[in-house]
Amino acid sequence: MKPPAILILCTGNSCRSHLAEAILRRALGESFRVESAGSKPAGYVHPLAIRALEEIGIDVTGHHSKHMDLFLNDQVETVITVCGNADQACPMFPGQMNRHHWPFDDPAHATGTEEEQFAVFRRVRDEILKVFTAYAEGRLDERRL
Protein backbone atom coordinates (compact mmCIF):
# COMPACT_ATOMS: atom_id res chain seq x y z
CA MET A 1 0.00 0.00 0.00
CA LYS A 2 1.41 3.38 -0.97
CA PRO A 3 1.66 6.11 1.67
CA PRO A 4 -0.74 9.06 1.64
CA ALA A 5 0.22 11.83 -0.74
CA ILE A 6 1.35 15.37 -0.21
CA LEU A 7 -0.13 17.08 -3.28
CA ILE A 8 1.30 20.38 -4.50
CA LEU A 9 -1.08 22.36 -6.70
CA CYS A 10 -0.59 25.23 -9.10
CA THR A 11 -2.63 26.41 -12.06
CA GLY A 12 -0.53 25.12 -14.97
CA ASN A 13 1.61 22.50 -13.20
CA SER A 14 4.55 23.61 -15.34
CA CYS A 15 6.87 25.56 -13.02
CA ARG A 16 6.30 26.24 -9.31
CA SER A 17 4.54 23.00 -8.43
CA HIS A 18 7.23 20.92 -10.14
CA LEU A 19 9.98 22.89 -8.42
CA ALA A 20 8.26 22.30 -5.07
CA GLU A 21 7.49 18.63 -5.79
CA ALA A 22 11.07 17.82 -6.71
CA ILE A 23 12.58 19.75 -3.81
CA LEU A 24 10.16 18.28 -1.25
CA ARG A 25 10.53 14.75 -2.61
CA ARG A 26 14.31 14.97 -2.24
CA ALA A 27 14.06 16.47 1.26
CA LEU A 28 11.56 13.88 2.55
CA GLY A 29 13.03 10.79 0.94
CA GLU A 30 11.02 7.59 0.67
CA SER A 31 8.93 8.07 3.80
CA PHE A 32 6.40 10.28 2.03
CA ARG A 33 4.78 10.35 -1.40
CA VAL A 34 4.95 13.76 -3.06
CA GLU A 35 2.95 14.61 -6.19
CA SER A 36 2.05 17.76 -8.11
CA ALA A 37 -0.83 18.74 -10.36
CA GLY A 38 -2.66 21.73 -11.79
CA SER A 39 -6.17 23.07 -12.14
CA LYS A 40 -5.46 23.86 -15.82
CA PRO A 41 -2.36 21.83 -16.79
CA ALA A 42 -0.09 23.45 -19.37
CA GLY A 43 0.83 20.13 -20.94
CA TYR A 44 4.57 20.46 -20.30
CA VAL A 45 7.18 21.29 -17.68
CA HIS A 46 8.86 24.61 -18.44
CA PRO A 47 12.42 24.07 -19.74
CA LEU A 48 13.80 26.77 -17.43
CA ALA A 49 12.25 25.00 -14.42
CA ILE A 50 14.00 21.80 -15.52
CA ARG A 51 17.27 23.73 -15.89
CA ALA A 52 16.87 25.41 -12.47
CA LEU A 53 16.43 22.03 -10.80
CA GLU A 54 19.37 20.54 -12.69
CA GLU A 55 21.55 23.25 -11.14
CA ILE A 56 20.83 21.81 -7.70
CA GLY A 57 21.21 18.21 -8.76
CA ILE A 58 17.57 17.24 -9.37
CA ASP A 59 16.50 15.63 -12.66
CA VAL A 60 12.84 16.09 -13.63
CA THR A 61 13.13 15.44 -17.35
CA GLY A 62 10.52 12.65 -17.06
CA HIS A 63 7.93 14.86 -15.35
CA HIS A 64 4.78 16.04 -17.12
CA SER A 65 1.88 18.27 -16.13
CA LYS A 66 -1.16 16.53 -14.65
CA HIS A 67 -4.70 17.60 -13.77
CA MET A 68 -5.59 17.67 -10.08
CA ASP A 69 -8.68 15.53 -10.78
CA LEU A 70 -6.33 12.55 -11.22
CA PHE A 71 -5.92 12.57 -7.44
CA LEU A 72 -9.59 12.90 -6.39
CA ASN A 73 -9.81 9.16 -5.63
CA ASP A 74 -6.31 8.99 -4.19
CA GLN A 75 -5.36 9.13 -0.53
CA VAL A 76 -4.19 12.76 -0.19
CA GLU A 77 -3.40 13.82 3.35
CA THR A 78 -1.93 17.27 2.63
CA VAL A 79 -2.59 19.80 -0.12
CA ILE A 80 -0.18 22.69 -0.63
CA THR A 81 -1.11 25.38 -3.13
CA VAL A 82 1.69 27.55 -4.51
CA CYS A 83 -0.41 30.08 -6.45
CA GLY A 84 -3.60 32.02 -5.77
CA ASN A 85 -5.61 30.57 -8.63
CA ALA A 86 -4.98 26.99 -7.51
CA ASP A 87 -5.86 27.93 -3.94
CA GLN A 88 -9.26 29.18 -5.12
CA ALA A 89 -9.90 26.19 -7.42
CA CYS A 90 -8.69 23.54 -4.99
CA PRO A 91 -11.28 20.89 -4.11
CA MET A 92 -11.34 18.97 -0.86
CA PHE A 93 -9.79 15.55 -1.26
CA PRO A 94 -11.21 12.55 0.62
CA GLY A 95 -9.15 12.01 3.75
CA GLN A 96 -7.36 15.35 3.43
CA MET A 97 -6.16 16.46 6.85
CA ASN A 98 -3.92 19.44 6.07
CA ARG A 99 -3.99 22.38 3.71
CA HIS A 100 -1.35 25.07 3.24
CA HIS A 101 -1.14 28.01 0.86
CA TRP A 102 2.35 29.30 0.15
CA PRO A 103 2.22 31.57 -2.92
CA PHE A 104 5.28 32.23 -5.06
CA ASP A 105 5.77 34.48 -8.08
CA ASP A 106 5.18 32.73 -11.40
CA PRO A 107 8.56 32.59 -13.16
CA ALA A 108 6.83 31.69 -16.43
CA HIS A 109 5.75 35.34 -16.63
CA ALA A 110 9.33 36.63 -16.48
CA THR A 111 10.38 38.87 -19.36
CA GLY A 112 13.68 39.85 -20.91
CA THR A 113 16.48 37.72 -22.27
CA GLU A 114 16.59 34.02 -21.51
CA GLU A 115 19.24 34.67 -18.85
CA GLU A 116 17.09 37.40 -17.26
CA GLN A 117 14.14 35.01 -17.24
CA PHE A 118 16.34 32.26 -15.80
CA ALA A 119 17.38 34.58 -12.98
CA VAL A 120 13.70 34.75 -11.98
CA PHE A 121 13.44 30.93 -12.10
CA ARG A 122 16.50 30.70 -9.85
CA ARG A 123 15.07 33.20 -7.37
CA VAL A 124 11.73 31.39 -7.18
CA ARG A 125 13.49 28.02 -6.93
CA ASP A 126 15.57 29.30 -4.02
CA GLU A 127 12.48 30.67 -2.25
CA ILE A 128 10.71 27.34 -2.73
CA LEU A 129 13.83 25.51 -1.54
CA LYS A 130 13.87 27.50 1.69
CA VAL A 131 10.15 27.07 2.48
CA PHE A 132 9.82 23.41 1.48
CA THR A 133 13.07 22.34 3.15
CA ALA A 134 11.82 23.84 6.43
CA TYR A 135 8.46 22.09 5.94
CA ALA A 136 10.22 18.76 5.28
CA GLU A 137 12.31 19.13 8.41
CA GLY A 138 9.13 19.65 10.43
CA ARG A 139 7.43 16.62 8.89
CA LEU A 140 10.49 14.43 9.51
CA ASP A 141 10.67 15.66 13.12
CA GLU A 142 7.00 14.65 13.59
CA ARG A 143 7.88 11.12 12.49
CA ARG A 144 10.69 10.90 15.04
CA LEU A 145 8.43 11.75 18.00
Contact 32, 3 (CB under 8 A): yes
Q: How many residues does the chain have?
A: 145
Q: At what angle do helices 47-54 and 16-28 cross, to 10 degrees?
A: 30
The C-alpha atoms of residue 52 and residue 31 are separated, in whole angstroms, by 25
Catalytic residue among 20, 22, 76, 83: 83
Catalytic residue among 76, 90, 108, 131: 90
Active-site residue, 15 included: no
Active-site residue, 10 included: yes
Angle (CA) 60 63 67, round 5°: 145
Catalytic residue among 8, 10, 129, 136: 10
Q: For residue 26, what is the enclosing H or E element?
A: helix 16-28
Spatial neighbors of 115 by CB under 8 A, at least 6 apart, are: none
Report the catalytic residues.
10, 83, 90
